[in-house]
Amino acid sequence: MPGSLGTKPGDLDEGLEITYALLNFSGLNNPWHSWEAKMKELDDYSGQFVPNIQFEDFSKEALIKLLKTYSLCTLILPWGWLDIVKQRHGEDEGNQCWLQVWVKVGAPMSERLARGLNIQDKDVVGLLKSIQLNPTVLLDRFRYTVEVKNSNLGILAITRCPALDIWEKEGNTELIQFCCHELEVPLFEALAKPFHPNMKAIPLKLPPRQSPDEIACQWEIRI
């Protein structure tokens, strides 16, 4: 039979060698494979190196930590980029470039978030869902409340903004003015485009504030 081991002397030994080689190739006789098969969900990565590690290898708690870390890493790049541009071209040019970048990436970010978690709402609710999941919104650091009046109207209040807390302590009124007054409205509307082209973000309250106990900002999102 084609492909059989045959019956001549030595064929059996040859067949065993081929079988052993195939086992090694597939990983079934590989000590790493047997270790991975027995591996429990990882709560962190402090232990042994794991070839071809997957997200599924981690526990829910570890994945939550990783998501929060990814969220912080997501913000490291644009802030570092802004610093370099300001050093080379000045404060105003850096801010304007930053605004253009955020507006440019706003819609694609929303689209990918909607596609990734099957957000089908084409209204204010869709935008609010995507904002909740946006990697630049640090869910463990920002605090906010959302009131959905109807599918075309919602109120978003940021009750704690870690960036504003830092800028207030530094007395950085220029960055507060730029980010909170000049950047946020076009950014909101860029984020909203995949859900409705006519959605608007209307600021109801913006910094400066009289006390850190006040909310950071409040927005009316409407179509």
Instruction: Express each pLDDT in 36-85 by its tens digit.
Output: 545 689 999 999 999 999 999 999 999 999 999 998 888 888 889 999 99
> pLDDT band at 184, cuts 50/70/90?
very high
218 in a structural domain: yes
41 in a structural domain: yes
pLDDT of 141: 80
Instruction: Specify whether 143 is located in the same domain as 188.
Output: yes
Instruction: Specify whether 139 is located in the same domain as 194.
Output: yes
C-alpha pair distances (Å), 184 with each of 67, 177, 203: 24, 10, 9
Domain that holds residue 168: 91-222
The Cα 10–Cα 89 span in angstroms is 78
Instruction: Specify whether 154 is located in the same domain as 203.
Output: yes
Span 117-137, pLDDT tens digits: 999 999 999 999 999 999 888
Instruction: Specify whether 108 is located in the same domain as 216.
Output: yes
The Cα 59–Cα 62 span in angstroms is 5
117 in a structural domain: yes
69 in a structural domain: no
Alpha helices in 117-209 (DSSP H): 124-133, 162-170, 173-176, 184-192
Instruction: Specify whether 117 is located in the same domain as 198.
Output: yes
The Cα 79–Cα 134 span in angstroms is 17
> What per-residue string of b and e applies to 114-140 under the rule 16 or more CB within 10 Å gives b?
beeeebeeebbbbbbbbbebbbebbee
pLDDT of 7: 44
Instruction: Specify whether 111 is located in the same domain as 214.
Output: yes
183 in a structural domain: yes
Q: How many domains, in total, are found in the chain?
A: 2
